[in-house]
């Protein structure tokens, strides 16, 4: 469904711990990492049920404003109970790092459970996927609890160049998600991200792009490379143009946060090479000029058609069906306001193979 590299797609698809602000149990969950949570489980200060209940409450409280969560898994408490039972029955240390940890998935990641997989579109509401996506199989195997689905912005942004970031037909109701809501971290710490990476990395039988990746995966996973003092002496380039142009407004919350992050990196021993310029940056980020747009268009139609075709149940089976749906239900999908120019361009693209070849060669 996406032309991003699989690993990036997967990483950007997982939102952990996004809604935690406080908990009344013995320790603060606001800053709790996966290790903290596992320790609290082990010491019987916390159960997965309590953790999931906490999340569900936070989602109920914050979602009317943030609209970050499209659906909550009706089985999440049942799954939490199962995780708690298993923790009781198994020897300490034999459980995997994500055991009993709730995770939110982006809504374009297929789950074969009670959750819908819609990529934020009403067109796919009620569709039935044939199986869990590879990443979901792995997360479940690692003990994670699928708590729910997060809104899907990339899909909306893909449909039309004019859709605002954060637009989401379903539940987003056309409202732009607040930045507070959307820029939640994927994980709280690098270590948490590595736990997730170790769980999900690998070959996916249904995704040929992952073929050949196995030889790059370290035998004992990525945890072995985590070093508390790993930043000492590392030279990091900071490219402000164009990514952080807006951080030049001294005094704004964003600028202060950005500066704080840079200070933290320096404190931890990194050598920052600030204001690095990439000479051909305008060309690189030019979506049409770089060939990226053509690559998107050329890959999208066959990929989305293949996805829709293999669904067990769906009212849309092709990109043409999706375009027709967006026209028919233009109020629901805000089609008049934002259009679906990218969908239409992909549908009518001729010579896709050749365009893709040229785009990739640039």
Ligand X SMILES: *[C@@H]1O[C@H](CO)[C@@H](O)[C@H](O)[C@H]1NC(C)=O
Which stretches of the chain bind ligand X, using CB under 6 A?
71, 74, 114-116, 125-126, 206, 208, 282, 286, 288-289
Kindly tell me which of 183 and 208 has the beta carbon lying closer to ligand X: 208
Closest C-alpha among 305, 148, 133, 146 to residue 314: 305
Phi-psi sector, 229: left (phi>0), alpha (psi -120 to 50), beta:
alpha
* Cβ(142)–Cβ(98) below 8 Å: yes
Length in residues, the chain: 362
* Cβ(262)–Cβ(308) below 8 Å: no
Helices then strands, counting H and E runs in the chain, come out as: 16, 6
Beta strand 14-15 with 102-106: parallel, antiparallel or unpaired?
antiparallel
Least CB distance from residue 303 to ligand X, whole Å? Answer: 10
Kindly tell me which of 310 and 330 has the beta carbon lying closer to ligand X: 310
Q: Is 126 helix (H, G, I), strand (E, B) or coil?
A: coil
Least CB distance from residue 71 to ligand X, whole Å? Answer: 4
Kindly tell me which of 292 and 337 has the beta carbon lying closer to ligand X: 292
Which strand (E) or helix (H) includes residue 66? helix 48-66
Kindly tell me which of 125 and 190 has the beta carbon lying closer to ligand X: 125
Kindly tell me which of 47 and 108 has the beta carbon lying closer to ligand X: 108
Least CB distance from residue 70 to ligand X, whole Å? Answer: 8
Least CB distance from residue 285 to ligand X, whole Å? Answer: 9
* Cβ(150)–Cβ(118) below 8 Å: no
Kindly tell me which of 125 and 157 has the beta carbon lying closer to ligand X: 125
Q: How far is CA 33 from CA 29, 192, 193, in A?
A: 8, 7, 10
Least CB distance from residue 1 to ligand X, whole Å? Answer: 13
Least CB distance from residue 3 to ligand X, whole Å? Answer: 15
Least CB distance from residue 113 to ligand X, whole Å? Answer: 8
Kindly tell me which of 152 and 197 has the beta carbon lying closer to ligand X: 152
Least CB distance from residue 283 to ligand X, whole Å? Answer: 7
Buried b or exposed e, range 7-21, using 16+ CB within 10 angstroms: eebbbebbbbbbbbe
Least CB distance from residue 355 to ligand X, whole Å? Answer: 14
Phi-psi sector, 87: left (phi>0), alpha (psi -120 to 50), beta:
alpha
Q: How many CB atoms lie within 10 A of CB 177?
A: 21
Kindly tell me which of 107 and 192 has the beta carbon lying closer to ligand X: 107
* Cβ(130)–Cβ(312) below 8 Å: yes
Q: Find tokens 């380039």 and name the residue.
A: 237
Residue whose Cβ sits closest to ligand X: 289
Kindly tell me which of 212 and 233 has the beta carbon lying closer to ligand X: 212
Using CA atoms in the order 105, 110, 113, 115, what is the torsion angle rounded to 10 degrees? Answer: 60
């Amino acid at each position: 469904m996406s032309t991003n590299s699989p690993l990036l797609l997967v990483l950007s698809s997982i939102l952990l711990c996004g809604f935690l602000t406080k908990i009344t149990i013995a320790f603060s969950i606001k800053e709790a990492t996966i290790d903290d949570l596992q320790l609290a489980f082990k010491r019987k200060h916390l159960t997965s049920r309590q953790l999931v209940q906490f999340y569900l409450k936070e989602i109920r409280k914050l979602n009317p404003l943030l609209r970050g969560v499209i659906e909550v898994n009706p089985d999440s408490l049942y799954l939490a109970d199962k995780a708690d039972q298993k923790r009781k029955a198994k020897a300490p240390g034999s459980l995997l790092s994500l055991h009993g940890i709730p995770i939110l998935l982006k809504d374009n990641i297929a789950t074969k459970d009670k959750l819908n997989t819609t990529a934020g579109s009403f067109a796919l509401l009620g569709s039935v996927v044939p199986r869990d996506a590879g990443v979901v199989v792995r997360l479940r195997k690692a003990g994670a609890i699928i708590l729910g689905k997060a809104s899907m912005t990339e899909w909306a942004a893909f449909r039309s160049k004019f859709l605002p970031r954060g637009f989401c037909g379903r539940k987003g109701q056309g409202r732009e998600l607040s930045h507070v809501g959307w820029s939640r971290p994927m994980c709280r710490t690098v270590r948490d991200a590595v736990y997730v990476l170790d769980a999900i990395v690998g070959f996916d039988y249904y995704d040929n792009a992952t073929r050949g990746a196995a030889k790059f995966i370290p035998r004992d996973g990525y945890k072995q490379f985590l070093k508390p003092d790993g930043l000492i002496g590392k030279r990091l380039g900071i490219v402000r143009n164009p990514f952080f142009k807006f951080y030049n407004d001294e005094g704004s919350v964003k600028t202060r946060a950005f500066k704080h992050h840079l200070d933290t990196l320096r404190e931890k021993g990194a050598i920052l090479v600030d204001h690095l310029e990439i000479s051909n940056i305008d060309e690189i980020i030019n979506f049409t000029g770089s060939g990226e747009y053509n690559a998107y268009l050329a890959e999208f139609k066959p990929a989305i058609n293949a996805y829709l075709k293999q669904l067990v149940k769906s009212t849309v089976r092709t990109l043409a069906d999706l375009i027709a749906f967006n026209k028919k239900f233009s109020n629901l999908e805000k089609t008049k306001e934002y259009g679906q120019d990218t969908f239409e361009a992909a549908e009518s693209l001729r010579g896709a193979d050749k365009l893709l070849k040229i785009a990739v060669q640039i």
